[in-house]
């Protein structure tokens, strides 16, 4: 959701900035821009389209400077045009700004600034903030030059309502950059002879492993290769430098055509990493390093509330099923975006858990903060090491899935399911689950990576199936019990990358409405992996067939179908029931992927979407 990079050092900034921006493109990709301070003035280059358009423009008209900022945009205010792209330049030419977030009172500020003689060339809230900084910079004429720019940013931000992660340059300050954060992530990279700012560590790690995660309400003033961190009220903050352990090559595409496919194939490793070191020595339960909550306290929990958005919300629905089944603790699942505005009655023995791949989703973060404000113990499951959600929760579990670059979540989803399964085991063993059941479950979990390895090898078979359904405009995804969330996730995957309308339902709900959609043009994908409900699911399939609907079935080896019922089948190995949601997810991901590619869609950067939703 918009990516920012800033650089101040002693090498040419443009190459460094553009390399970082490429790594942030998953955050938004409708337009991009770069500003450097060159020969005493701010030179801004912007392009509509992908970052490669900007790279092409800079190649044609190179810029020379050791200081610069850049941005890749996911539009909030104003259409996708060059005028609306960042960096914005104040109308007096003094300040340039890149911004992630939303300035809510921008209309009032815009009227004020217009009355003071500032003009606007875009429809954006960011240009308003840029001019507001320029207004304060002009007003601070008496302030000593060394602190005038930072003071003007600080003063401007005190008048702002909304969220921001930002980086700014001033034409009069060739050696200074200012960054600030409130509600949208901003991280500083501290190199030997350079300081960087970025929305995500991904943009920094090729330059330096040393980073400072900024918190809300903080402002950084960088002068040369020194920086000072303060609150907006100018109180000094001692920066904490973290060293990130990130293999840059993990984020590269390698031999794969798309990140999504690469990440689907990475699932055996991601799942292995999610399990590593998390089983007890006696092989009957689990252990977690960072829960920060004792087994005694966990035994007192009588309810769990799970909050998340999108795919992570589907993971929560599966976790609900697993935790209730194996640990017998009542679980509720809420959309984080709804929970934050609802005064849900919770009691003191409720544990609130948030799930977020990025650890930066604003709604999930807000749900976490609201829960903490009300005094609940909070845990986070996240892939975002050092992310805001990881830092602000009382404890948590890292997914260790490695960087997920494809906008459509795949390996992060299954690794969340893995963490949820291990947690269900742990909570179950703290309560009623027997030693033998625990051992059996651990064995079932340990088999998952090798079973997933077998399933990804079906990719080409699934590709052949996908070709038959490329021109459909509607799809139903149906599954029962723990397969219902997988049906929802399958529908989401298909619609977000192929733009085919798809809906997920519990299979038995079909007759209460969705059956009206069934026709030759609306295929149904059933997930049938559970022998207990198989006969019922097969009846639902017959109902589809009777209405000339095509049937694609994901089934386990032992869940056999009546001869000729399914038009296409994707067969996964038999497994422990805890493993089935993970295993069933893989063919569904592959089918969506191949359909989308066959339709010519950009699967890694689907239209209108961005990864890491840091605005509401």
Q: How far is the CB of 72 from ligand F6R (least distance, A)?
A: 17
Q: How far apart are CA 291 and CA 297, in angstroms?
A: 11
- Residue 533 near ligand F6R by CB under 6 A: no
- Residue 156 near ligand F6R by CB under 6 A: no
Q: How far is the CB of 95 from ligand F6R (least distance, A)?
A: 32
Site for ligand F6R in 450-509 (CB under 6 A): 496
Q: How far is the CB of 411 from ligand F6R (least distance, A)?
A: 11
- Residue 310 near ligand F6R by CB under 6 A: yes
Q: How far is the CB of 533 from ligand F6R (least distance, A)?
A: 27
List CB contacts of 500: < 8 A, sequence separation 6 or more: 472, 473, 474, 475, 494, 595, 599
Residue sitting closest to ligand F6R (CB): 310
> Residue 459 or residue 585: which is nearer to ligand F6R going by CB?
585
**Cis amide leading into 520 (omega within 30):** no
List CB contacts of 148: < 8 A, sequence separation 6 or more: 137, 140, 141
Check 2, 170, 522, 601 and give the catalytic one. Answer: 2
- Residue 274 near ligand F6R by CB under 6 A: no
- Residue 612 near ligand F6R by CB under 6 A: yes
From candidates 66, 96, 337, 361, binder to ligand F6R by CB under 6 A: 361
> Residue 361 or residue 498: which is nearer to ligand F6R going by CB?
361
Q: How far apart are CA 547 and CA 614, in angstroms?
A: 44
Q: How far apart are CA 565 and CA 544, in angstroms?
A: 10
Binding mask 400-429 for ligand F6R (x = CB under 6 A): --------xx--------------------
From candidates 188, 208, 273, 364, binder to ligand F6R by CB under 6 A: 364
- Residue 613 near ligand F6R by CB under 6 A: yes
- Residue 367 near ligand F6R by CB under 6 A: no
From candidates 91, 151, 358, 556, binder to ligand F6R by CB under 6 A: 358
3-state secondary structure of 305: strand
- What is the 3-state composition of the chain as percent helix, strand, coil, each rounded to the nearest 5? 40, 25, 35
- Residue 356 near ligand F6R by CB under 6 A: yes
Q: How far is CA 331 from the centre of its chain?
A: 24
Q: How far apart are CA 612 and CA 306, in angstroms?
A: 19
Q: Are strands 187-190 and 31-38 parallel, antiparallel or unpaired?
A: unpaired
* Angle 384-386-390 from CA coordinates, rounded to 5°: 70
Cβ atoms 350, 305 nearer than 8 A = yes
Q: Is residue 287 annotated as part of the catalytic site, yes or no?
A: no
Q: How far apart are CA 405 and CA 197, in angstroms?
A: 20
From candidates 168, 214, 312, 590, binder to ligand F6R by CB under 6 A: 312
Cβ atoms 69, 168 nearer than 8 A = yes
- Residue 309 near ligand F6R by CB under 6 A: yes
List CB contacts of 266: < 8 A, sequence separation 6 or more: 401, 402, 411
- Residue 393 near ligand F6R by CB under 6 A: no
Q: Is residue 495 annotated as part of the catalytic site, yes or no?
A: no
Please give the residue ranges that form the binding site for ligand F6R (CB under 6 A): 309-312, 356-358, 361, 364, 408-409, 496, 612-613
Active site residues: 2, 611
């Amino acid at each position: 959701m918009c990516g920012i990079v800033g650089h101040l050092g002693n090498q040419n900034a443009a190459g460094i900035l553009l390399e970082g921006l490429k790594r942030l493109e998953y955050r938004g990709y409708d337009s991009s821009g770069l500003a450097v301070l060159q020969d005493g003035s701010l030179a801004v280059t912007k392009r509509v389209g992908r970052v490669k358009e900007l790279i092409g423009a800079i190649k044609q008209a190179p810029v020379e400077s050791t200081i610069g900022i850049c941005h890749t945009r996911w539009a909030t205010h104003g259409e996708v045009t060059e005028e609306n792209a960042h960096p914005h330049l104040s109308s007096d030419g003094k300040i340039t700004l890149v911004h992630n977030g939303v300035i809510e009172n921008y209309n009032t500020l815009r009227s004020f600034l217009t009355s003071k003689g500032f003009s606007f060339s875009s429809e954006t809230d960011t240009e308003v903030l840029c001019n507001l900084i320029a207004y304060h910079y002009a007003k601070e004429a008496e302030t000593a030059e060394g602190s005038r720019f930072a003071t003007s940013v600080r003063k401007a931000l005190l008048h702002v309502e909304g969220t921001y992660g930002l980086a700014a340059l001033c034409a009069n300050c060739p050696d200074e950059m200012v960054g600030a954060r409130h509600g949208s992530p901003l991280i500083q990279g501290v190199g030997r002879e350079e300081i960087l700012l970025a929305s995500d560590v991904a943009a920094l790690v090729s330059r330096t492993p040393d980073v400072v995660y900024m918190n809300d309400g903080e402002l950084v003033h960088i002068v040369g290769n020194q920086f000072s961190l303060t609150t907006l009220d100018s109180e000094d903050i001692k920066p904490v430098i973290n060293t990130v352990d990130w293999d840059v090559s993990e984020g590269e595409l390698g031999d794969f055509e798309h990140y999504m496919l690469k990440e689907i194939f990475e699932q055996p490793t991601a799942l292995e990493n999610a399990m590593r070191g998390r089983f007890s020595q006696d092989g009957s339960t689990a252990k977690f390093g960072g829960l920060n909550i004792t087994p005694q306290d966990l035994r007192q929990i009588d309810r769990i509330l799970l909050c998340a958005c999108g795919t992570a919300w589907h993971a929560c629905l599966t976790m609900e099923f697993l935790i209730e089944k194996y640990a017998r603790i009542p679980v509720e699942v809420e959309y984080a975006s709804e929970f934050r505005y609802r005064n849900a009655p919770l009691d003191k023995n409720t544990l609130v858990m948030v799930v977020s791949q990025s650890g930066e989703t604003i709604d999930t973060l807000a749900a976490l903060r609201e829960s903490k404000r009300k005094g609940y113990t909070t845990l986070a499951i996240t892939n975002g090491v050092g992310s805001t959600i990881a830092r602000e929760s009382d404890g948590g579990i890292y997914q260790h899935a490695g960087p997920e670059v494809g906008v459509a979540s795949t390996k992060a989803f299954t690794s969340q399911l893995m963490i949820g399964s291990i947690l269900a085991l742990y909570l179950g063993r703290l309560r009623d689950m027997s030693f033998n059941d625990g051992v059996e479950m651990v064995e079932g979990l340990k088999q998952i990576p090798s079973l997933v390895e077998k399933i990804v090898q079906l990719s080409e078979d699934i590709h052949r199936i996908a070709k038959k359904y490329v021109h459909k405009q509607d799809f139903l995804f149906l599954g029962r019990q723990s397969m219902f969330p997988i049906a929802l996730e399958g529908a989401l995957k298909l619609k977000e990358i192929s733009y085919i309308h798809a809906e997920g339902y519990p299979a038995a709900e079909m007759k209460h409405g969705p059956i009206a959609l069934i026709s030759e043009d609306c295929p149904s994908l059933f997930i049938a992996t559970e022998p207990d409900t198989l006969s019922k699911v097969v009846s639902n399939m017959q109902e589809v067939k009777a209405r000339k609907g095509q049937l694609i079935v994901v089934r386990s080896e032992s869940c056999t179908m009546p001869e000729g019922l399914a038009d296409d089948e994707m067969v996964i190995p038999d497994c422990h029931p805890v493993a089935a949601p993970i295993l069933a997810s893989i063919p569904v991901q592959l089918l969506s992927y191949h359909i989308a590619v066959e339709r010519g869609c950009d699967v890694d950067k689907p239209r209108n979407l961005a990864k890491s939703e840091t605005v509401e």
